[in-house]
Amino acid sequence: MAKIISGKTLAAQFKAQAAQQTAQLQEKGIGVRLAVIIVGENPASRTYVKGKTKDCAECGIASDVIELPESISENELLEKIEQLNRDDSVNGILVQLPLPRQIREQSVINAIAPEKDVDGFTDINTGKLVSGEECFLPCTPAGCIEMLKSTGVPIAGKDAVVIGRSNIVGKPAALLLCAEDATVTLCHSRTKDLKEKCAAADILIAAVGKAGFVTGDMVKEGAVVIDVGINRGADGKLCGDVVFDEAEAKASYITPVPGGVGLMTRAMLMMNTVRAARMQAEGRALREKGENH
């Protein structure tokens, strides 16, 4: 029977850390602010944004939700981002995805100033992630790594399988695991012998978006299973990509849904936002010092 990696407990620890760091900055007169742009009425996006603003409030981080109509043009959205880039009181900018069809998602993401890209989705931050430079890590994969580390099971040298190759989760998760010295296999819809590959994994990260995708026969005895999926099951309840009971019987550690990775994603966003505020304040202080010389 696997031990449960509680996203709730771990996220609370990171949020407490973010709150403490925010308070320390505020004592120095430095505010921490996140701007969240949401376009249209996607109900899942609205739920996510609500969660993010709730976390901000809990951490003492100011948040602005900028609601824009589904019909907005790409140029109008780019203008809004430019305005937030120029606003020194805004430390982090997050554009909730997906965006409507008329808008090119990556163009919009790349308009975000890299130093305010708390989602870590800009090409600049992705490039830095690939080359192992310091950068804002995408929140979901960063949360997965923290969950893995919380088990105390070493990642180095392990065989890790990631299912799903999205830019938001799968690809960056594979890069982060590689940076932790795991041997990584990135699987997707065209992967052959998927079951066998998964069943050989010491670390299995499921980011497919399909309820019931990972069955017990795909889990190695003693594996650590991280379930990134957030789906509605046939019963209408929230569930992950993993058949929990089957995987739990074989894994050493497993994350639940709900109460798992989702909460960690939000906690990592708080950490990134405080870090952005601190780095921007340091940058301003250096510039001012330079100007006085």
Closest CB to ligand GUN among 17 and 167? 167
Work out how close the CB of 29 gets to ligand GUN at its nearest, in angstroms, rounded to a whole number: 29
Q: Using an 8 Å Cβ cutoff, are 11 and 270 in contact?
A: no
- Parallel/antiparallel/unpaired status of strands 159-163 and 203-206: parallel
| Three-class secondary structure of residue 202 per DSSP | coil
Q: Exactly one of 15, 96, 158, 220 is catalytic; name it.
A: 96
Closest CB to ligand GUN among 119 and 227? 119
Segment contacting ligand GUN (CB under 6 A): 91-99, 180-188, 252-260, 276-284?
A: 91-99
Q: Using an 8 Å Cβ cutoff, are 209 and 241 in contact?
A: yes
Q: Does 140 bind ligand GUN (CB under 6 A)?
A: yes
Select the residue interacting with ligand GUN from 135, 139, 147, 205 (CB under 6 A): 139
Work out how close the CB of 226 gets to ligand GUN at its nearest, in angstroms, rounded to a whole number: 15
What contacts 122, CB < 8 A, 6 or more positions away? 109, 110, 112, 114
Distance CA 95, CA 150 (A): 29
Closest CB to ligand GUN among 144 and 219? 144
N- to C-terminal Cα separation, the chain: 64
Distance CA 35, CA 65 (A): 6
Q: Does 146 bind ligand GUN (CB under 6 A)?
A: no
Select the residue interacting with ligand GUN from 97, 153, 238, 279 (CB under 6 A): 97
Listed in order, strand segments (DSSP E) in 51-98 are 62-68, 92-95
Q: Does 279 bind ligand GUN (CB under 6 A)?
A: no
Q: Which of residues 160-189 bind ligand GUN (CB under 6 A)?
A: 168
Closest CB to ligand GUN among 100 and 216? 100
Q: Using an 8 Å Cβ cutoff, are 121 and 169 in contact?
A: no
Q: Which residues bind ligand GUN (CB under 6 A)?
A: 94-97, 119, 139-140, 168, 265
Active site amino acids: 52, 96, 119
